[in-house]
Each structure stands twice: as structure tokens, then as C-alpha cells.
Chains A and B, each alone.
Chain A
Amino acid sequence: MAVGELDFRTCPVTGLKIHRPAERLIKINAVTAVVFLLVGGIVALLIALTRWPAVHLLPAVYYYRLLTLHGIAMLVAWIIFFEIAAVYFCCTALLNSRLAAPKLGWLAYFLMLIGAAIVAITILAGKADVMFTSYVPLKASPWYYFGVILFAVGALIGISLFFASVVKAKNEGTYTGSLPLVSFGVAIACIIAVLTLAHGAIIYIPTFLWSLGLIQNIDAAMYRIIFWGFGHSSQQINVAAMISIWYLLSTLTVGGKPLNQKVCRTAFILYALFINIASAHHILVDPGPSAAWKVWNTSYAMYLAVLASLIHAFAVPATVEVALRKKGYTKGLFEWLKKAPWGDPGFSSLAISILLFGVMGGITGVIQGTEQLNIRNHNTLNIVGHFHGTVVAGTTVAFMGLTYYVIPLIFQREIISKGLAKLQPYIYGIGLVLLSGGMILAGMFGVPRRHWDITFAATQFPMSWDPTVSFALGLLGLGGVIAVIGGAIFIYIAVGSLLWGKKTG
């Protein structure tokens, strides 16, 4: 056996060669992601119970503070730690190869961890009540911006490792031809990530200097445009990564093979070219940019990214259908759907992710990205309903589904409480339908986002709302509670399996 071979083990289930140093990094990043999911989930419960008028739990200052923490813990830490784990998996196990520089992977991990910890502590200390967007002239402690920059540098190192490992694998001939589709999708996610982090550096470094008093002024309009090149684009990394995981789950759960790889790859390329431009929809009511700029970016270019999502949303279920028809479920139009492995949490997560991402996240996104329609929805809860449909019901559910496979394949542990695991995606999914649905409905009636008390009860001019709003916010609260229960079950199963699950390797 060659010396380098000692660094590998072969997965007894899939036959994949697993690079042990990469495996250790995958494990630590995945576990850290789940820890931040726990933090974000606890905070989510408190926020949902505050926006539910019948409960209205938190005082104003803690509502805004914890809302800031929720955004950072969920949109940044949970998602990106998990994505880095997925990135390392796709450039090693799927390419039959090794991670180019594992020590750099650890450097990336600690930078991200320290950065996220600094940000979280600064928020909890009350020094950064600026929301996820930290719009100037709201000013946080310099530690907040420093933590974000540290995290971003770590993530950039992790992404660079992906590209270096792909080149290494190609040079060593561990794979031939094009990258496998899943790795290709992750490569597109990494390209978008580089663009995203560049925007982050352009805006966060001067804002950091501004918070230190070294720069006198940051233009608020300029900040918004560049921030959203970072803030929304970071969610596009999630979309590309999530869809890669859809393809991976379709293979792991039913043995699916993409029907037409060229079409799927073209759709991924459309993301790389056009999805960042979708960020312009955040600027649709800003007075600075021209109407022509807004309409080109959102009503033309953005639709090419939407086209890509429609292609994937057709290609993945079609892959599943063809695989199940090959197994003999050919009766009528939908026997394959009836006989699909709905008791496999990986498969049910895949189905829920596709359905909710498309219906709750996708359709609302297109509507909000249309300049005229955006006027009705801008800064309402409708927007929050949209991105809980994409990032939570889409991305998080897909990541949860993959976790049910990562635990036995990478951590070599059996899943505990299999009955509960079967139910978990459905509980979480139902919670999210109510949560996002309540937000979308409330937003349609003009209920603002990021608002502690929409009744203005303590003022001299209290505001009254259509009775439907109470119903919608009740749905939001109830859905939030159910989703948090579903999330808690997931964390219990994931962590419990690592601690008490039977060893398989």
C-alpha cells in the first residue's frame, strides 16, 4: 500500500474513498453548523412568540437584539459551516481524491469559528443592535464588523481549498472528463461565493474603519447597493449548494441519475451569470438607481436565473420518477410518487425542500422581484415569508435530509430514533408552511417586517389592522413553534446519533 493510501478509508456502503483529514474537517464543520442551528432555533422561538400578538413575549430591545443574532446564526453560521463541510465532501469523496491542504482547512475553520463567536458575543452584549443588514448610519461596535470579516476570510480560504483540491484531483487523474454534476454545482456555488465575499470585503472593510472613526462617512445608498451584492448573493450560494444536494439526494435515496446533464449544467451556469443580479431587487424602492437599471436587473436578467431554477425543479423530480419507474412503478402517471420511499427522511426532506422552495420561496421571489409588484411588498413580512421559504424550507430542509446520510456515511454511526427521524421532516415542513404562509399573508396586508409592535399601542396614534392580520400572525407564531419542535427533533437525532448511535465502521 502506498504511504498516501493510509490517509484513506473506503466507505462500506457507497464504495467511496474517503480522505481521512478531509473527513475530520467535514465532521467538525458539520457539528459546528448544528450548534449554530441550535442557537438560531432557540432565538427563532423567542422572536416568533414576540411577533405573535397574543403572546408578544420579548421587550423591544431584546426583540431587535435577538433578531440580529437570529440572522447571523442562521443565514451565516449554520448555512456556511454546513456548506464548507459539503464543499470538502464534493472535492474529495466525489472525486476520489484528497483535500489539497488540510492545515489550511483548519485555519479556515478557526477563523470562521472565532469570527462567528465574536459577532455573537458582540450582539449579545448589546453592542450591535443593527440587524443582519447593519445599514449605515446604524453603527455597531468595531468588533462586530471585525468578526464578520474574520468569518468571511475563513470561508474564502475554505472555498479556495475546494478549487485547489479540484485542480489536484485533475492533475492526479482521480477523475476523468467533466466534474460530476454535484461537484459541478458546488463549483458554481463556490464561484458565486467568491463574488459574494468580494462584495463583502468592499463594503465591510470601510464600514469597519468607519466604526473605528478612521473614515468620516459611508454613503447610505452606496452601502445598500454593495451590501446586497454580499447579503443576497450569499443566499444564492445556498441555492446552488441546495440544488447540488437535491441531485445528490436523488442518487442516494432512489438511485437517480440526471436525465440530461448538459441541460442541468447549463442551468447552473445561468446561476453563475445572472443570479447575483437578482440582488438588485433590494434596491427597487431606492431613489438613486434609475428605473432602467432596476428593470434590466430584475425583470430581465433575474428571469434567466429563475429559468435555471425551473429547469432544476423539473430535472430533479424527473430524475426521481425515472429511477422509480425503472424499479417497476410504472402504473399510471403517479404510481412512482405513491411508492416513493416517503419513510426515508432523506427522501421526504428532498421532496419537501423542492415543493416548498418552488411554491413558497420561488413564486414569491419572482413577484417581489418585479418592480411594480415590489411596491406592495417591500419591507413587509411578505419578504420574510419568501426567504423563509427559500433558505429554511428549501436549503435547511435539504441540508437536514443530507445529514441523515452524512451520519452513517461520514460519521459511521447509525441514526437513533428512526421512527422520530421519519416524522421529523414532515413536522418541520408543516411548521414552515404555517410560518412562511402566515408571513406572506400578513405581508399582503402591509404588516411591516422587523417591527416589534405593529399596533403602535404605546403611541398617541395607535394603528388598527384588518382582522385577517391577527389570523396570519397567529399562523406565524404557531408555525414557528411547530418548526422549532421539528428543528429540535433534528438536533436531538443528529447529536444523539453521534453520541449514542451504533458504530457502523
Chain B
Amino acid sequence: MAEGKGGFEAPGTFVLAIVFLIFFILFYFLNWKWLAGIWHVG
């Protein structure tokens, strides 16, 4: 394969990366929520 033209030659990895990112976002959001539960502002 020519360098720089990989892109969707790896669709399985792309799907795995999206699953990872969704998990990342959810866990990051949950940590803010847990922080809000113990650190009341105002």
C-alpha cells in the first residue's frame, strides 16, 4: 500500500477506536459527575 493512503484500509480498527473513544468520553463525564457530587459549588 502506498504510504499515506491507509485510511479505511483498516475499518475494524476504526470501529474499535470509536468504541474506545465512546468509553473514554463516558468515563470522563462520569468523573465530572462524581466530582459534582462531592464538591458543591454555590
A contact set with B: CB distance below 8 Å? 259-262, 313-314, 317-318, 320-322, 325, 333-334, 336-337, 358-359, 363, 366-367, 372-373, 375-376, 444
Q: Which residues of A contact B3 (CB under 8 A)?
A: 259-262
Docked complex Cα distance between A444 and B9 (Å)? 40
Give the tally of cross-chain contacts (CB within 8 A). Answer: 66
Which residue on chain A has the smallest CB distance to residue B39?
A: A375
In angstroms, how far is the closest chain A Cβ from the Cβ of B15?
A: 6
Q: Are A366 and B28 in contact (CB under 8 A)?
A: yes
In angstroms, how far is the closest chain A Cβ from the Cβ of B13?
A: 4
Q: Per a CB cutoff under 8 Å, which of A261, A314, A333, A363 touches B27?
A: A363
Q: Are B31 and A367 in contact (CB under 8 A)?
A: yes
Q: Are B13 and A317 in contact (CB under 8 A)?
A: yes
Which residue on chain A has the smallest CB distance to residue B36?
A: A372
Q: Are A376 and B34 in contact (CB under 8 A)?
A: yes
Q: Are A317 and B1 in contact (CB under 8 A)?
A: no
Which residue on chain A has the smallest CB distance to residue B28?
A: A367
Q: Per a CB cutoff under 8 Å, which of B10, B20, B27 touches A318?
A: B10
In angstroms, how far is the closest chain B Cβ from the Cβ of A273?
A: 23
Q: Are A375 and B13 in contact (CB under 8 A)?
A: no
Q: Among A261, A320, A321, A359, which residue has the most Cβ atoms of chain B within 10 A? A: A321
Docked complex Cα distance between A375 and B9 (Å)? 42
Q: Are B12 and A260 in contact (CB under 8 A)?
A: no
What 14 new A-B contacts, CB under 8 Å, besides A259-B6, A366-B28?
A259-B1, A260-B6, A313-B17, A314-B13, A317-B13, A321-B13, A322-B1, A333-B12, A359-B23, A363-B23, A366-B24, A373-B35, A376-B34, A376-B35
Which residues between 1 and 42 of chain B lie within 8 Å of chain A, taking CB atoms? 1, 3-4, 6, 9-17, 20, 23-24, 27-28, 31-32, 34-35, 38-39
Q: Among B14, B23, B35, which residue has the most Cβ atoms of chain A within 10 A? A: B35
10 tightest A-B contacts by CB? A259-B6, A318-B10, A321-B10, A318-B13, A333-B12, A317-B13, A321-B13, A367-B31, A334-B12, A373-B31
Given A259-B6, A260-B6, A261-B3, the answer on whether A376 and B31 have CB atoms closer than 8 Å is yes
In angstroms, how far is the closest chain B Cβ from the Cβ of A442?
A: 14
Q: Which residues of B contact A358 (CB under 8 A)?
A: 20
Q: Per a CB cutoff under 8 Å, which of A259, A262, A317, A367 touches B16?
A: A317
Which residue on chain B has the smallest CB distance to residue A319?
A: B10
In angstroms, how far is the closest chain B Cβ from the Cβ of A446?
A: 9
Given A363-B24, A373-B31, the answer on whether A337 and B39 have CB atoms closer than 8 Å is no
Docked complex Cα distance between A468 and B28 (Å)? 21
Q: Are A259 and B31 in contact (CB under 8 A)?
A: no
Q: Which residues of A contact B32 (CB under 8 A)?
A: 372-373
